[in-house]
Amino acid sequence: AQRVTQPEKLLSVFKGAPVELKCNYSYSGSPELFWYVQYSRQRLQLLLRHISRESIKGFTADLNKGETSFHLKKPFAQEEDSAMYYCALSDYNFGNEKLTFGTGTRLTIIP
Amino acid sequence: ETGVTQSPTHLIKTRGQQVTLRCSSQSGHNTVSWYQQALGQGPQFIFQYYREEENGRGNFPPRFSGLQFPNYSSELNVNALELDDSALYLCASSYQTQLRIQYFGAGTRLSVL
């Protein structure tokens, strides 16, 4: 069975400092990994997905199959980055899409 | 383009009752997934509907059931409510050929007393 682990429930970082939110997964097939974000009083929304290999709002994430990790990084934190971040794994089987989420990390940027 | 809408936003029920939650998909989307998010946890997959049929189910008992209508809107029904059913219920819609991109509603907060 697939599993997503986010070891930090809370993370506080000073503005301008680098940010790294950790995500590890277990999955027997070829995973597709995502980061979803929930800003205060907003709905859950997709931040980025590993196959896109793009940077969104300065965030990047690299899939490391050897370490089964998909850590989210940003070189310089901004106050508007404060939010709840969820790592998720896609289990696509016969046209059925299922997302398995981690427990989330609440990121607080200290001004 | 309208987003995913869910109703009601909040609901209070007592143990043993039944509840129906509703979801309208984002325009153009034909697939709906439901998730349960308990306090302090990530969303957990309940089931998915495509073309009005259940298209995959998570580890939830049969008292959790759903429907999808021809206009792709959906309902989540929970019978014989238990205290542990208290959670935020999220609906997400997607287009079948782009399943990996799911768009979430704001959720329905269910409290079971």
Spell out which residues of chain B touch residue A46, defining contact as CB-CB under 8 Å: 101-103
φ/ψ of residue B88, rounded to 5: -95, 130
Q: What is the pLDDT of residues B9-57, one digit of tens each?
A: 999 999 999 999 999 998 888 889 999 999 999 999 999 998 889 988 9
- pLDDT tens-digit readout, A16-59: 999 999 999 998 877 889 999 999 999 999 999 887 778 889 99
Tell me the pLDDT tens digit for each residue of A61-96.
989 989 999 999 999 999 999 999 999 998 766 566
Quickly list H helices, chain A: none
Distance from the Cα of A38 to chain B's closest Cα (Å) equals: 10
Instruction: State residue B98's pLDDT score.
Output: 58
Phi, psi (degrees; rounded to nearest 5) at A37? -130, 145
Pairwise CB contact (< 8 Å): A101 & B42: yes
CB atoms within 10 A of CB A33: 22
pLDDT at B30: 86
Most confident of A3-7, A97-101, B71-75: A3-7
Using CB atoms, pick whichever of B4, B41, B58 lies closest to residue A98. Answer: B58
Over chain A, what is the mean pLDDT?
Answer: 91
Contacts of B106 in chain A (CB under 8 A): 43
